[in-house]
Structures are given as structure tokens and as C-alpha cells.
């Protein structure tokens, strides 16, 4: 069975447990975060040390590079001197430099024969001046090199063509040197007229660099080493690593961390590793960049992680002891506080039990003067009791239907008060919606009754259009409570003059429509019909229409125009004016009734037209009987006439054939362009029909100055229907033809000239 605990027991159990867990978690997080921060700080300090040391090495490299750079720039001015004087001058410059810079092991130059010896055209072959230090003595040597080709290292940097630091190497620069050392070479090219002419270089022993890195020990157990651009160890506390490749010494690390690639790119980076003794080390790399050299080196600093984290461990143990002491203090304080809390809580609990049984009265008010949250709790309880009392009164008023009663909320978070107000608002809204529903039901009943009433009116008057319109407009004005109205129907009996006609009005001001005719698109009636949409105005112009009564007239507040539309065809327009503004359901009712009216009007018109057509057909049947005999006689006469026409047509065809065979026939349009030509004329001039058709009358026509002036009037006479006979000369393909021509205007059935026919004869034939 689950054991029930008192508040004090729960405080001691739960709060102490939670406090202990949170305390331990917080302390653990702080300690862990402190350890992380210390470790991050240690990495930053190590990186900073590596960066500073790398800059010191860069400064050394830059200093030695500056010497050879200065010499290479200075030597370009001596290119025109005699070689013997040149060699002596350079040697005099090298010796003081060696004396002033003891770290330089040797100073040498190389001069390409191709740049300085006239007629030498090989890409290899050079003269070398070398000075070196041997003990306290400085020696020099002149010799030739690369006469059969450049060695790999020299050739590489010769091709590079810019200042560089050679990779570390073990070499004996000249014969007679006392010892073999690990060195690097600083290289600076000499350009003569923008062409590579040679180099100035210095060989520097890495002993000084080795001594320098041995001094870099920021913490116990740390050490530094230097790696060249191509991954050669140039300086290391362990001399066995000298001149060894990183791929050989740090094979796994290089594969995992891409050390050589990152050094070649000049990156600053760090990583951790575990050495053969199981000790974890932090390795920080910082790039060494000198001058314009594009092959950066790297200084690596190795630091034992345990050493840099020793401070963190010490801090951890001290913090742990402080945390335990703090937890004991919390337990003691909780014992005291729990007793002070539970006593007033017991008193308040008794009051809440009475309230749980439904008791609410001023006797339940509790007074506490502890000055803490218990006092605030008591005040809150008193406020709750008072609030419940007010809410009870509020609920009783709502139960009586008094929805206007108000309730003051205890706060913005008074859920019960908000719920009661929401309940009041919901009941009030429900009552309002019930009222609206009743109104909507009344509107629907009104509309349904109206549809039934007007359906009966339309059925009773579907044979007489005038009576239908009179009954509909009178009933509609009365039913919707308008003051006056009228029906305009589309009159299309006269196809040349169609308009809207006022066919029926109820209480209408006739003065406005004296003519009772409105053109399509004219005024609001025409606009309503044209747009096929209802026009509803509540701001009526003063001069639009007046509603007249026995007491005078006044401007309406509302005018509505509804098209009488059947299947998108407007049959007419209903217009009504009223002192009251029509409501939406009334407008919808008028629009629905307008559809029924339009349909009925269409049926009435169709019936009337059918009746008229039936009467006409009966009259026509009687007339046709009388005309049948006359038609029979006409047919006999027509047959005789047709036979005569066929005979004359045959004669005409023979006549035209005779004309075409005996004369040259051409036809022109009224603009003088040829539209037809006889075969005889084509044979005469010897050109194709396509060349003649479309040509102008004046083309190929030879005219005198007098004829040219009269040509326009000549053609105007033809178009006026006057026959013309002329003598003319035409030219085709360089040959002239003298013709007698007769021009005959051809007229249509209305007597209008529509083309010109020309009959022509050659002068010789005519004679």
C-alpha cells in the first residue's frame, strides 16, 4: 500500500532530493565546463606560443632573405662592367657580409652564361663565386658549373624564378670544408632586362634554429620542432629526426591529420595524439612565412595534456568539497523552513476543506501576519472566497435571464470569471441568433408567399401582355413596399428603330417619360439592360424622379432597376422607386421574380406571334389558292419566254464569236486595267495573256501632247457611259500597230457602268 506523506515530509524528501540532484548536476556541469574552458584556454595559449615562436623564426628567415634580396637587386647595376672587375667587386661585397653575419655559413652567386657571355646560346652553364666560413677564416672560390646541364635542385628554383627557401639538405658546399651540416639555402633571383640572369644565395646552418627551438618550453614536458614546406623535419630536440620526412616519422598522424598538405597551404591547426608511453599530447602548428616566399614552413609545439590540465583537476577537487559543504547547509535550512511553512498551511487546508463542501461565507476569512508568502496565500484565499461569492450572485442573475448584468474579473487570468462571462455572452448570442432565425424565417416565408402569389398572377395573365405587365407591376410595388414602379419592354418590331418602351406603370410620375421610349444604353434603364446586372441606388439625384402624392412630391431614398433576363437575353427592365431602402432579401426576391416575369413575357410574345403567324398563314392559304391559277398561266408564259431567251442567247453567242474572230476585243475595268483579251489580239502582238491582263490602257500607247492632255477627259466620258471611236497607235516588242478602236461602256441592271469593252481593227484590214 502506498504510504501518504505529510507536507513537511514531502518537502524534506522531494525538495531535498531534487535540490541534491540539481545541485550535483549544476556543480558537475560547472566543473565539466570549467575543465572544457581551461582546456580551450590551454589550446589557445599553446597556439599563441606556437604563433609567436613561428613569427620569431619568420623574422630570422626574413633577415637572411633580405641580405640575398638586397645583393641581387644591387648586382643588376653592374651587368655592363668587365668580368674580372665584376668578380673582384662581388667578392669584396660578400666578405664583409660574412663577417657581419656569423650565422651565414656560405654566400654564393650563380651567373648564367647565356645572359652575360655574347654568343652563348645554351640554357645551362653558369659561373659561380662562392665564399664560405671555415673556422675563423673566410675562403672563396671561382668555378664553372652546370656545363652539361643544371642539377635538380638548382634547376627547380631556376624555373621557379622567384625568391625562395630551399628545403633542408645535408651538403658540403665546396671542397675543402671541414664538416657536413644540415643547412638551408636562401635564394633570390637576378633579372637583367626582365630575363633571368642568375641568383644570389646564402647557405645557413640550422644549428642556430635548433638552439632556438630547444628553448621553446612553455610548460614541463613540452617541446617544439620545425617542418619544411615539403614535410622535412628541419629542427627537433631528437637529432635522430633531422632531415627525416614526416611521412616516415609521423606516418599515422600525417595520414589522419593531412599534416604535409596543411603545412604546404600555410594553415594554422592543432590535433591531439597519444605517444608510445600512453601520454596524451596536444600538437599545435603555426605557419612560418617569410617575405614573398610562397612555400611556408611550420613550427609545431607539443604539450602534455596532463600538464595543462593539472590546474583543472585541482579546481575540480576544491569545487567538489565546497559543493558537499553547501549541500549540508541546504539540508539544515530546509529542516527549519519546512516547519515554518507547514503550520500556516495546515490552517489554510482546514478552510479549503470547508470550501470543498460548498461552504462560502465571510467566516472562512483567515488572517495571517507572517509577512511572507503564507500571508500572501491567505490574502489570495480571502480574495478567492470574495470572488466566488460575487460569481454566485452573477450566475443567479444570468439564471433569471438578466444578460446585462456584469462581473468584475479578479485578474486577466480569472478563468472561472471568464467562463461565466463567456457563458453569459453565449446565452445572449443564442438569444440574439434565435431572434435572427425568426427574422430569417419570416423573410423566407415572405419570399415563398410572394413567389406563390406572383406565380398565380403570371398564370392568370399569360395570354395578354399588357394586362400581365399591369398586374405584375402593381402587385410588385405593393408587395415590396415601394412607392412607384414601371416595366420597360424591348420593342424590336421595327428593325430600323428598336428601343425600350414603358408599357406599364403604377403611381409613376409620367412627366419624366413623355415619349415612353428609351434607346439601348440610354440612361439607367439602358445601362441596366446593356450590363444585364441589377442597378441599386441609395443616393438618388434630385432631378432623377419624384414620388408624387396628394400632399406633394419628394425625392426617393432608393431606386432599383432589375433586368428581365431569360437565358442571357434581356426582354426588358423593371424600375421601382421607394422612400425606404430595400433590404437584401427584397432585392433578391425582385431579381427572382424578374426571371419568372421574363420567362412569362417571352411565352406571351411567342404565343402572340404564333397566333399572328397562324392567322397570316390562313390568309396566305386563301391567297395562294387564288394565285395558283395565275401561277399556272405565268409558268406557261415563262416557259415560252425561256425558249425565246435560249434562242436569243444562242444568237448572242454566235454574234460575240463573230466579233472575236473579226475584231480585236479587250475589256477594261473603270481604272483602265485590262481584265479580258481576245485570242486574236494575243496572236497579233505575239505576247502571253498574263503579260496583257492587268496592264493599263495607257501602257504601250503612243500619244501626242494634245492627246495626253485630253486623255483624262476621254476616260471620264467612257465612265459616264459615252461611246468613243478613235484612231490610235500602240507599240509591242518594238513593233507599231495602227488601229481603229470603238469603246463601248457596259452597264449593269441598275444602269451603272462597270466595265469598258474595246473593239479594234487594224488600219489595213479596216480599209
Q: Is residue 404 part of a domain?
A: no
Same domain, 154 and 286: no
Task: Show the cell assigned to 369.
Answer: 501576519
Domain of residue 595, CATH code: 3.30.450.40
- For residues 560 and 594, is the Cβ–Cβ distance under 8 A? no
Q: Is residue 12 part of a domain?
A: no
Cα angle: 76, vertex 80, 84; to 5 degrees: 100
Same domain, 189 and 247: no
Look at residue 284 in the predicted model and tell me its pLDDT: 92
3-state helix, strand, coil in the chain (%, to 5): 50, 25, 25
Taking each continuous run of H as one helix and of E as one strand, the counts in the chain are: 20, 26
Alpha carbons 131 and 94: distance in angstroms, whole number: 7
Look at residue 218 in the predicted model and tell me its pLDDT: 84
- For residues 233 and 246, is the Cβ–Cβ distance under 8 A? yes
Alpha helices in 461-480 (DSSP H): 465-480
Look at residue 178 in the predicted model and tell me its pLDDT: 47
Same domain, 254 and 290: yes
Domain of residue 276, CATH code: 3.30.450.20
- At 109, give phi and psi (nearest 5°): -135, 170
* DSSP character at residue 649: H
Other beta carbons less than 10 A from residue 643's beta carbon: 10
Helix (H), strand (E) at residue 578 = strand 569-578
Same domain, 683 and 592: no
Task: Show the cell assigned to 66.
Answer: 633580405
Same domain, 224 and 295: yes
Alpha carbons 577 and 536: distance in angstroms, whole number: 10
Helix (H), strand (E) at residue 754 = strand 753-762
Same domain, 491 and 608: yes
Residues of the chain scoring pLDDT < 70: 1-14, 76-87, 171-180, 311-312, 316, 338-343, 360, 362-364, 368-375, 386, 390, 401, 403-404, 508-515, 543, 545-553, 652-662, 764-767
pLDDT above 90 coverage of the chain, percent: 3
213-226 pLDDT, tens digit each? 888 888 888 889 99
Same domain, 583 and 671: no
Q: In what order do the strands lie in the sheet with 664-668?
A: 674-677, 664-668, 753-762, 735-747, 724-732, 701-702
Buried b (16+ CB within 10 A) or exposed e, 343-381: ebeeebeebeeebeeeebeeebebebeeeeebeebbeeb
Q: In what order do the strands lie in the sheet with 499-506?
A: 517-518, 499-506, 484-491, 569-578, 558-566, 535-537
Q: Is residue 197 part of a domain?
A: yes
Alpha-carbon separation of residue 416 from 243, 410, 660 (angstroms): 86, 10, 118
Alpha carbons 85 and 619: distance in angstroms, whole number: 145
Residue 148 belongs to what domain range? 79-205
Alpha carbons 708 and 718: distance in angstroms, whole number: 16
Alpha carbons 749 and 742: distance in angstroms, whole number: 23
Helix (H), strand (E) at residue 171 = strand 169-171
pTM of the predicted structure, to 2 decimals: 0.42
Nearest by Cα to 504 from 491, 516, 492 = 516
Alpha carbons 154 and 160: distance in angstroms, whole number: 10
Task: Show the cell assigned to 315.
Answer: 579546481
Residues 423, 427, 430, 432, CA torsion sign: negative
Residue 548: exposed, middle, or buried by beta-carbon count in 10 A (0-12, 13-18, 19+)? middle
Tally of domains in the chain = 4
Task: Show the cell assigned to 200.
Answer: 644570389
290-309 pLDDT, tens digit each? 878 888 999 999 999 888 77
- Cell 403567324 sits on residue: 613
- For residues 294 and 162, is the Cβ–Cβ distance under 8 A? yes
Q: Is residue 6 part of a domain?
A: no
- For residues 582 and 536, is the Cβ–Cβ distance under 8 A? yes
Q: Is residue 677 part of a domain?
A: yes
Nearest by Cα to 573 from 506, 498, 518 = 518
Alpha carbons 454 and 593: distance in angstroms, whole number: 8
24 phi-psi bin (left φ>0, alpha ψ -120 to 50, beta other):
alpha
Alpha carbons 273 and 281: distance in angstroms, whole number: 5
Q: Is residue 448 part of a domain?
A: no
Same domain, 195 and 260: no
Same domain, 229 and 197: no
Same domain, 140 and 106: yes
Alpha carbons 258 and 285: distance in angstroms, whole number: 12
Domain boundary at 171, 205, 239, which? 205
Same domain, 253 and 161: no
Look at residue 172 in the predicted model and tell me its pLDDT: 55
Nearest by Cα to 535 from 510, 515, 560, 556 = 560
Q: Is residue 542 part of a domain?
A: yes
Domain boundary at 308, 336, 371, which? 308
Same domain, 189 and 233: no
Alpha carbons 625 and 627: distance in angstroms, whole number: 5
Q: Is residue 533 part of a domain?
A: yes
- Find residue 677's DSSP bridge partners: 666
Domain boundary at 261, 290, 308, which? 308
Amino acid at each position: 500500500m502506498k504510504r501518504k506523506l505529510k507536507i513537511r515530509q514531502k518537502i524534506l524528501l522531494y525538495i531535498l532530493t531534487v535540490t541534491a540532484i540539481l545541485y550535483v548536476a549544476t556543480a558537475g556541469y560547472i566543473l565539466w565546463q570549467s575543465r572544457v574552458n581551461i582546456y580551450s584556454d590551454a589550446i589557445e595559449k599553446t597556439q599563441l606560443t606556437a604563433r609567436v615562436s613561428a613569427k620569431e623564426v619568420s623574422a630570422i628567415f626574413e633577415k637572411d632573405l633580405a641580405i640575398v634580396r638586397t645583393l641581387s637587386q644591387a648586382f643588376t647595376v653592374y651587368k655592363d662592367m668587365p668580368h674580372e672587375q665584376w668578380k673582384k667587386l662581388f667578392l669584396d661585397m660578400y666578405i664583409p657580409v660574412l663577417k657581419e653575419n656569423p650565422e651565414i655559413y656560405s654566400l654564393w652567386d650563380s651567373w648564367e652564361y647565356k645572359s652575360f657571355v655574347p654568343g652563348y646560346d645554351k640554357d645551362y652553364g653558369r659561373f659561380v663565386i662562392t665564399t664560405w666560413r671555415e673556422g675563423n677564416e673566410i675562403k672563396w672560390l671561382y668555378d664553372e658549373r652546370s656545363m652539361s646541364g643544371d642539377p635538380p635542385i638548382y634547376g627547380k628554383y631556376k624555373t621557379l624564378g622567384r625568391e625562395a627557401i630551399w628545403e633542408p639538405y645535408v651538403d658540403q658546399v665546396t671542397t675543402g670544408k671541414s664538416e657536413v651540416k644540415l643547412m638551408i639555402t636562401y635564394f633570390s633571383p637576378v633579372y637583367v632586362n626582365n630575363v633571368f640572369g642568375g641568383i644570389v644565395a646564402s647557405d645557413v646552418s640550422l644549428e642556430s634554429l635548433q638552439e632556438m627551438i630547444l628553448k621553446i618550453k612553455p610548460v614541463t614536458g613540452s617541446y617544439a620542432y620545425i617542418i619544411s614546406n615539403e614535410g622535412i623535419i628541419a629542427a627537433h630536440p631528437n637529432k635522430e629526426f633531422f632531415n627525416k620526412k614526416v611521412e616516415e616519422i609521423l606516418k599515422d598522424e600525417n595520414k589522419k591529420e593531412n599534416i604535409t598538405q596543411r603545412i604546404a597551404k600555410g594553415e594554422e591547426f592543432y590535433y591531439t595524439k597519444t605517444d608510445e608511453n600512453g601520454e596524451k599530447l596536444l600538437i599545435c602548428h603555426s605557419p612560418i612565412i617569410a617575405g614573398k616566399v610562397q612555400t611556408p614552413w611550420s613550427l609545431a609545439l607539443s604539450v602534455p595534456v596532463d600538464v595543462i590540465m593539472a590546474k583543472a583537476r585541482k579546481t575540480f577537487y576544491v569545487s567538489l568539497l565546497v559543493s558537499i559543504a553547501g549541500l549540508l547547509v541546504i539540508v539544515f535550512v530546509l529542516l527549519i523552513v519546512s516547519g515554518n511553512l507547514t503550520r500556516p498551511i495546515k490552517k489554510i487546508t482546514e478552510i479549503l476543506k470547508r470550501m470543498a463542501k460548498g461552504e462560502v461565507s465571510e467566516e472562512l476569512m483567515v488572517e495571517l501576519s507572517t509577512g511572507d508568502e503564507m500571508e500572501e496565500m491567505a490574502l489570495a484565499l480571502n480574495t478567492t472566497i470574495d470572488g466566488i461569492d460575487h460569481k454566485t450572485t452573477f450566475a443567479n442573475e444570468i439564471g433569471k435571464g438578466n444578460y446585462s448584468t456584469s462581473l468584475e474579473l479578479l485578474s486577466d487570468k480569472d478563468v472561472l470569471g471568464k467562463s461565466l462571462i463567456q457563458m453569459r455572452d453565449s446565452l445572449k448570442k443564442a438569444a440574439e441568433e434565435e431572434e435572427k432565425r425568426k427574422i430569417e424565417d419570416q423573410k423566407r416565408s415572405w419570399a415563398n408567399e410572394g413567389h406563390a402569389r406572383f406565380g398565380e398572377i403570371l398564370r392568370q395573365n399569360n395570354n395578354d401582355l399588357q394586362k400581365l405587365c399591369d398586374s405584375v407591376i402593381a402587385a410588385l410595388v405593393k408587395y415590396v413596399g415601394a412607392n412607384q414602379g414601371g416595366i420597360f419592354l424591348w420593342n424590336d418590331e421595327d428593325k430600323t428603330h428598336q428601343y425600350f418602351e414603358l408599357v406599364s406603370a403604377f403611381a409613376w410620375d409620367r412627366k419624366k417619360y413623355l415619349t415612353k421610349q428609351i434607346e439601348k444604353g440610354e440612361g439607367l434603364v439602358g445601362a441596366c439592360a446593356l450590363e444585364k446586372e441589377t442597378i441599386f441606388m441609395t443616393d438618388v439625384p434630385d432631378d432623377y424622379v419624384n414620388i408624387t402624392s396628394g400632399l406633394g412630391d419628394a425625392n426617393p431614398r432608393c431606386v432599383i432597376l432589375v433586368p428581365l433576363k431569360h437565358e442571357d437575353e434581356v426582354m426588358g427592365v423593371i424600375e421601382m422607386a421607394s422612400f425606404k431602402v430595400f433590404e437584401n432579401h427584397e432585392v433578391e426576391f425582385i431579381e427572382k421574380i424578374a426571371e419568372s416575369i421574363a420567362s412569362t413575357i417571352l411565352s406571351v410574345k411567342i404565343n402572340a406571334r404564333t397566333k399572328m403567324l397562324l392567322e397570316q398563314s390562313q390568309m396566305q392559304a386563301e391567297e395562294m389558292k387564288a394565285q395558283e391559277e395565275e401561277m399556272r398561266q405565268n409558268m406557261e408564259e415563262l416557259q415560252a419566254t425561256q425558249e425565246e431567251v435560249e434562242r436569243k442567247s444562242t444568237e448572242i453567242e454566235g454574234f460575240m464569236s463573230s466579233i472575236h474572230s473579226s475584231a480585236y476585243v479587250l475589256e477594261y475595268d473603270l481604272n483602265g486595267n485590262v481584265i479580258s483579251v481576245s485570242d486574236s489580239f494575243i496572236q497579233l502582238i505575239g505576247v502571253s495573256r498574263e503579260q496583257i491582263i492587268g496592264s493599263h490602257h495607257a501602257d504601250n500607247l503612243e500619244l501626242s501632247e494634245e492627246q495626253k492632255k485630253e486623255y483624262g477627259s476621254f476616260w471620264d466620258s467612257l465612265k459616264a457611259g459615252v461611246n468613243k471611236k478613235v484612231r490610235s497607235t500602240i507599240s509591242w516588242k518594238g513593233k507599231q500597230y495602227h488601229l481603229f478602236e470603238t469603246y463601248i461602256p457596259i452597264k449593269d441592271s441598275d444602269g451603272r457602268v462597270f466595265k469598258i469593252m474595246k473593239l479594234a481593227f487594224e488600219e489595213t484590214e479596216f480599209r
